[in-house]
């Protein structure tokens, strides 16, 4: 039988977990909804929280991250690798779309050459998911291989059943978290039935649908359709927000800072939407906007499926909600022309 927790006891639960973890929870303290270090008392997010503006990838691939320091003395340069902080993060309230996005980003950072910064944080983290009861109009997760209450990529999953959350144990890590927690109650048969009902209600609230049938091939065939891409990119202002705040986007830049022989190398989020991203001294393969928009769409819906057999989009809807000019990925994907076989 599953456990359940009273919503009033969430603060107590987080307090207990704080002993062992750096607990992150949704907060609007900065003015933007994001996962930040829990302040030890506030659970008001349970009322307002739909999803964060900043995706949880920021906890594993921070917007700016020090890679190492260097220092010059009389014997030359010394590299000071980052100290492994060993900090264990517990992200509370992760939405299933974002949890799936983390699993998708893992594929790149696990691939061939392991990325030590990202993977250390990922290995040390626990994800406590929370099912959506109020998906946004822009959400289309049910078309992208997940659902508002999907527990696949989290350690524990909380399903809203009124005054309580039903807790689904997903992984051994999650089980361990629960074993030591106090204040939990055994869920009854009717609680479980309530959870099933809640899941169905949530699922039906995701009304935006996207048909991705054959999208990889459609994009492949339309790759050189400059007219289509120019039209698609027309209103884009290359602000980069749809990529920077996309939970599956992971592109980064690497830069140095140094003052008087002491400095550090940093990496920071970058975006294929920016012309500088690919700029070389003599030329730029994507100086035109339509090429950059094509890259963004094709990376998610064509190249990632070619590499990892999965579309690098989970339907979280951020790029639709946050776009200043109402560019809509679902409209774009639906409008990719179906070419006649063999014609190009």
Query: Where on the chain is the footprint of another protein (CB under 8 A)?
Result: 67-68, 70, 72, 76-77, 79, 81, 108-109, 111-117, 220, 223-224, 250-258, 263, 265, 267, 270, 272, 277-283, 285-286, 291, 295, 298-299, 302-303, 306-307
Min. distance of Cβ 9 from another protein in angstroms?
A: 41
Distances in whole angstroms, Cα of residue 239 to Cα of each of 2, 32, 235, 274, 322: 45, 18, 11, 7, 11
* Rounded Cα–Cα distance for residues 89 and 321 (Å): 28
> For residues 191 and 302, which CB has a smaller minimum distance to another protein in the complex?
302
Min. distance of Cβ 288 from another protein in angstroms?
A: 10
For residue 73, the surrounding DSSP H or E stretch is strand 64-73
Min. distance of Cβ 178 from another protein in angstroms?
A: 34
Half-sphere exposure of 71 (CA within 13 A, CB side): 5
> For residues 47 and 75, which CB has a smaller minimum distance to another protein in the complex?
75
Min. distance of Cβ 253 from another protein in angstroms?
A: 6
Min. distance of Cβ 126 from another protein in angstroms?
A: 24
For residue 252, the surrounding DSSP H or E stretch is strand 252-259
* Rounded Cα–Cα distance for residues 41 and 60 (Å): 24
Burial class (CB in 10 A: 0-12, 13-18, 19+), 98: buried
* Rounded Cα–Cα distance for residues 141 and 96 (Å): 9
* CA trace torsion 119, 40, 64, 124 (10° rounding): -10
Token pair 């302040």: residue: 39
> For residues 161 and 219, which CB has a smaller minimum distance to another protein in the complex?
219
Tell whether the torsion through CA atoms of 288, 289, 295 and 301 is positive or negative: negative
Min. distance of Cβ 281 from another protein in angstroms?
A: 4
> For residues 8 and 279, which CB has a smaller minimum distance to another protein in the complex?
279
Min. distance of Cβ 63 from another protein in angstroms?
A: 15
> For residues 179 and 282, which CB has a smaller minimum distance to another protein in the complex?
282
> For residues 140 and 229, which CB has a smaller minimum distance to another protein in the complex?
229
* Rounded Cα–Cα distance for residues 184 and 13 (Å): 9
Please tell me what DSSP assigns to residue 56. Answer: G
> For residues 24 and 58, which CB has a smaller minimum distance to another protein in the complex?
58
């Amino acid at each position: 039988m599953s456990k359940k927790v009273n919503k009033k006891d969430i603060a107590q639960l987080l307090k207990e977990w704080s002993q062992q973890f750096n607990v992150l929870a949704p907060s609007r303290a900065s003015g933007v909804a994001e996962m930040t270090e829990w302040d030890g008392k506030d659970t008001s997010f349970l009322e307002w929280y739909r999803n964060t503006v900043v995706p949880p990838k920021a906890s594993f691939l921070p917007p700016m991250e020090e890679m190492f320091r260097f220092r010059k003395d009389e014997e030359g340069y010394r590299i000071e690798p980052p100290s492994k902080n060993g900090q264990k993060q517990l992200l509370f309230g992760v939405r299933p779309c974002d949890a799936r996005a983390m699993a998708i980003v893992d594929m790149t950072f696990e691939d061939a050459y392991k990325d030590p910064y990202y993977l250390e944080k990922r290995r040390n983290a626990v994800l406590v998911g929370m099912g959506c009861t109020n998906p946004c109009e822009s959400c289309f997760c049910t078309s992208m291989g997940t659902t508002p209450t999907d527990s696949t990529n989290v350690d524990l999953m909380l399903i809203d059943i009124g005054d309580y959350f039903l807790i689904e144990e997903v992984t051994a890590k999650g089980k361990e978290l629960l074993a030591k927690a106090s204040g939990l109650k055994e869920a009854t048969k009717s609680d479980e039935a309530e959870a099933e009902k809640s899941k169905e209600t949530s699922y039906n609230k995701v009304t935006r649908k996207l048909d991705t049938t054959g999208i990889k091939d459609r994009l492949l065939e339309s790759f050189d359709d400059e007219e289509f891409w120019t039209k698609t990119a027309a209103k884009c202002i290359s602000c980069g927000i749809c990529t920077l705040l996309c939970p599956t986007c992971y592109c980064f830049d690497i830069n140095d800072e140094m003052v008087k022989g002491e400095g550090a190398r940093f990496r920071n989020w970058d975006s294929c939407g920016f012309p500088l991203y690919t700029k070389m001294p003599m030329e730029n393969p994507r100086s035109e906007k339509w090429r950059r928009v094509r890259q963004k769409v094709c990376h998610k819906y064509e190249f990632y499926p070619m590499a990892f057999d999965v579309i690098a989009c989970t339907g979280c809807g951020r790029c639709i909600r946050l776009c200043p000019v109402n560019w809509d990925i679902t409209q774009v994907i639906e409008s990719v022309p179906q070419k006649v076989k063999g014609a190009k």
